[in-house]
Amino acid sequence: MKKWIVFLSFTLVFLLAACGDNNSSADGTLKVGVTAGPHEDILNKVKDLASEEGLDIEVVVFNDYVMPNTALDEGELDANIFQHEPFMNNARDEGDLNLVNVANTVNFPMGIYSNKYESLDEIQEGDKVGLPNHSSGEPRALILFQDAGLITLPDDLGINVSIRDIEENPLDLEFVPLEASQIPRQLDEVDFAAINTNYALESGRVPSEDSIHMEPKDSPWVNVLATREENQDDERIQQIIEIYRSDEVKTFIEEEFEGSVIPSW
């Protein structure tokens, strides 16, 4: 009798283990991290289309720019979609993270916003200028200010430029680095500021209407779909890339965001 009890117990453990394996990420479910806002909305559209093709996507929403990469590196996610490549490269190098870009997604043009001015022509000498304080946000904002004709930057530094590299500042503007997500709330504390599109949208602003200057549509700061190196050839990753970059998703983006978010394909 005892032998049968042992045998049945072993069999039950084996069956439970097998069932557990069937519920793992190997069952086809793809866990994808995004930041709240447009990335989340777009991925939910992708999720709906993917379900029709037999791919189950779990959308994991974050409210910061650090944890999506940490979670991906640690295997808690299969992919993430929230950042442009310069930001990803910097996070990978600084944190020794396993991150690779496998596809371009959308561009969120950074814009210049002000509660004080309605056009660039109104900007005054000595104005305080807010800009993101992280390693890729600062150069992106400076390049935007140069595009607006406010400053001049060296030609040879590209995206590695910083405030100290400004060559010409004819209006003697004072640059104030701020936490990117907080800039919309701190806009009254400066005269104008560079704000990422996702944070502008979250604050109730419409970038194509409320900004006084925006990045050109051919901006190099295109967002990417990132995964770990060992997963870049995974069939599920290739499938989500194909669905994301489909005509259906492109139409959704163009209709939903009206120029505030731009497809890269």
* Domain architecture of the chain: domains with CATH: 2-109+221-263 (3.40.190.10), 111-214 (3.40.190.10)
Residue 9 has pLDDT above 50, yes or no: no
User: In this structure, are strands 79-84 and 111-113 parallel, antiparallel, or unpaired?
Assistant: unpaired
Q: How high is the pLDDT of residue 4? A: 41
Say whether pLDDT at 260 is over 90: no
Asked whether residue 26 carries a pLDDT value surpassing 50, the answer given is: no
Torsion angle of C-alpha atoms 243, 248, 250, 251, degrees rounded to 10: -170
Mean pLDDT of 227-242: 97
Query: CA 143, 184, 189 angle in degrees (round to 5)?
Result: 90
Considering the entire predicted model, what is its pTM?
0.70
Average pLDDT score over residue span 111-120: 98
Helices (H), the chain: 2-22, 38-52, 67-73, 85-95, 137-147, 197-202, 207-210, 235-244, 247-257
pLDDT at 197: 86
Contacts of 114 (CB under 8 A, 6+ apart): 187, 191, 192, 193, 212
Closest CA to 263 of 87, 155, 251: 251
The yes-or-no verdict on residue 219 having pLDDT over 90 is: no
Distance, in Å, from the CA atom of 254 to the CA atom of 256, rounded to the nearest integer, reads 6
Tokens in use for 241?
A: 């890339």
3-class secondary-structure state, position 263: strand
Per-residue confidence (pLDDT) for residue 100, from 0 to 100? 98
Any idea how long the chain is?
265
Contact 85, 92 (CB under 8 A): no
Q: Is the pLDDT confidence value at 16 over 70? A: no
- % the chain with pLDDT above 70: 89
Contact predicate 175/127, CB 8 Å? no
pLDDT band of 19, cuts 50, 70, 90? very low
Q: How far apart are CA 248 and CA 242, in angstroms?
A: 11
Query: Across the chain, what does the average pLDDT equal?
Result: 89
**pLDDT per position as a tens digit, 164-180:** 999 999 999 999 999 99
Give the pLDDT mean for 34-61: 97
Residue 27: per-residue pLDDT: 57
- How confident is the model over 122-156, as pLDDT tens digits? 999 999 999 999 888 999 999 999 999 999 999 99
Residue 243 identity (one-letter amino acid): I
Picking from 164, 161, 123, the residue whose alpha carbon sits closest to that of residue 141 is 161
Q: Is the pLDDT of residue 21 over 50?
A: no
- For the chain, the maximum distance between any two Cα atoms, rounded to a whole number of angstroms, is 93
Listed residue (240, 248, 245) closest to 264, CA to CA: 245
Give mean pLDDT, residues 221-233: 96
Q: Are strands 79-84 and 30-35 parallel, antiparallel or unpaired?
A: parallel
The 3-state DSSP composition of the chain as helix, strand, coil percent (nearest 5) reads 45, 20, 35
Mention every residue, 6+ apart, whose C-beta is less than 8 A from residue 126. Answer: 171, 172, 173, 174
